Amino acid sequence: MTTVQMVQMFAERIAENVERVIVGKSREVRMVLVALLCRGHVLIEDVPGVGKTVLAKAIARSIGSTFKRIQFTPDLLPSDITGVNVFNQQTGRFEYRPGPVVAHIVLADEINRATPKTQSALLEAMEEGQVTVDGATHPLPDPFVVLATENPIEYEGTFPLPEAQLDRFLIRISLGYPSRRGEIEMLSRQHYEHPLERLGQVATLDELRAAQEQIRHVYVDDLLKEYIVSLVEATRRHEDVYLGAGPRGSLALYNASRAWAAMQGRDYVIPDDVKELAEPTLAHRIIVNPAARMRNVDARAIVREVLGVVPVPGARPLGGASAESTTRRRLPFGGS
């Protein structure tokens, strides 16, 4: 068995376990696993009651990690997240009391309800894997992943996430409502108790760290690197975009594509991997200009449009169409 196949089996074990409590959301569960393998963070944007919190708890239980939940409110202070120094009368010294951010998996629930000052307390933790309290730096556990949720419908009493913080999230997903059949199955599963109560551990943190290390060895051809950069550059030139995705967006798409390829059992990335991860990794980094917002244009639609315009490596136009045509026949990778 190859190392990539071990990553695939590791991801499948966790996905199957989580899907015992999250019904009909296979793709979304695997997107969270992509972030987990990339040491990235996830923004789950959806209406209340669709299973955002349950998803975070199920992931944590599946790998046996520590889990903390932070309920963001307007009166939450940065020290409520990072922790504080408390004077110990017996020793005569200040001692650090860790906040809820010190955990392997942190659920930042309704993150857009906190003030910008409190939201910014997560920036150092998400980017550097550490927190600074009274000038002293404290490392966070390895791995460290933030799963943040926000309600896109309710705007009263909320503070939109700044672009700098949105850019820290590797992936943004939406769970959406379950299908009719899935919702009926959910009712049946919870007839006596919530399935989460019986959810067991199926992997270890050591296995996760080993899988994260193997992702670094997934091969990406130079043509695909050019394709990724071309997609990101196209978001910057789009007429409906005020601010396109930055270099961190290119890196996010690059790493996420490698993780997705490994989860499919491959040690190399193909164009379809990039296409699959483009919207979740790039859309939340794009700011649509006001005129386009008036026409109900959203960032996800822009990414889909860009995918249809940027030429795919190893593809040629059909019927003499231009290279910018959205209709193409994809040849084997590297073909002409």
CATH number at residue 124: 3.40.50.300
- 241-259 pLDDT, tens digit per residue, is 998 999 999 999 999 999 9
Q: Where does a domain end: 213, 235, 253?
A: 213
- 132 has a pLDDT exceeding 60: yes
Q: Which pLDDT score is estimated for 247?
A: 93
Q: Is 96 exposed, middle or buried (0-12, 13-18, 19+ CB in 10 A)?
A: middle
Residue range 303-330: average pLDDT? Answer: 63
In this prediction, residue 333 has a pLDDT band, given cuts at 50, 70 and 90, of very low
- 306-315 pLDDT, tens digit per residue, is 999 999 887 6
Q: Where does a domain end: 164, 196, 213?
A: 213
Domain of residue 34: give its range: 1-213
Are 141 and 253 part of one and the same domain?
A: no
Q: Is 138 exposed, middle or buried (0-12, 13-18, 19+ CB in 10 A)?
A: middle
- 271 has a pLDDT exceeding 70: yes
Are 223 and 183 part of one and the same domain?
A: no
Residue range 162-173: average pLDDT? Answer: 89
Least confident of 103-112, 309-318, 327-336: 327-336
Least confident of 42-51, 131-140, 202-211, 272-281: 42-51
Structural tokens at position 321: 């169409």
- 275-284 pLDDT, tens digit per residue, is 999 999 999 9
Number of domains in the chain: 2
**DSSP-assigned states of every residue in 241-291:** EEE---HHHHHHHHHHHHHHHHHTT-SB--HHHHHHHHHHHHGGG-EE-HH
Q: Which pLDDT score is estimated for 258?
A: 96
Distance CA 213, CA 208 (A): 9
Are 179 and 250 part of one and the same domain?
A: no
Cβ proximity of 170 and 41 under 8 Å:
yes
Burial annotation 234-261 (CB, 10 A radius, 16+ → b, else e) = bbeebebbeebbeeebbbbbbbbbbbbb
Structural tokens at position 169: 């999230």
Are 200 and 313 part of one and the same domain?
A: no
- 168 has a pLDDT exceeding 50: yes
Instruction: Give the number of residues written for the chain.
Output: 336
Are 251 and 293 part of one and the same domain?
A: yes
Are 236 and 208 part of one and the same domain?
A: no
In this prediction, residue 196 has a pLDDT band, given cuts at 50, 70 and 90, of confident
Distance CA 22, CA 14 (A): 12
Average pLDDT, the chain: 86
- 144 has a pLDDT exceeding 60: yes
Q: Where does a domain end: 198, 213, 228?
A: 213
Are 171 and 287 part of one and the same domain?
A: no
| CA distance readout (Å), 34 to 10, 169, 276 | 12, 12, 12
Residue range 66-74: average pLDDT? Answer: 92
Among residues 270, 268, 233, 266, which one has the least CA distance to residue 250? 233
Q: Which pLDDT score is estimated for 157?
A: 64
Are 84 and 233 part of one and the same domain?
A: no
Distance CA 106, CA 98 (A): 13
Task: Give the Cβ contact number of residue 134 at 10 Å.
Answer: 9
Among residues 332, 299, 300, 292, which one has the least CA distance to residue 316? 332
Strands (E) across 189-250 are located at 241-243
Residue range 66-78: average pLDDT? Answer: 91
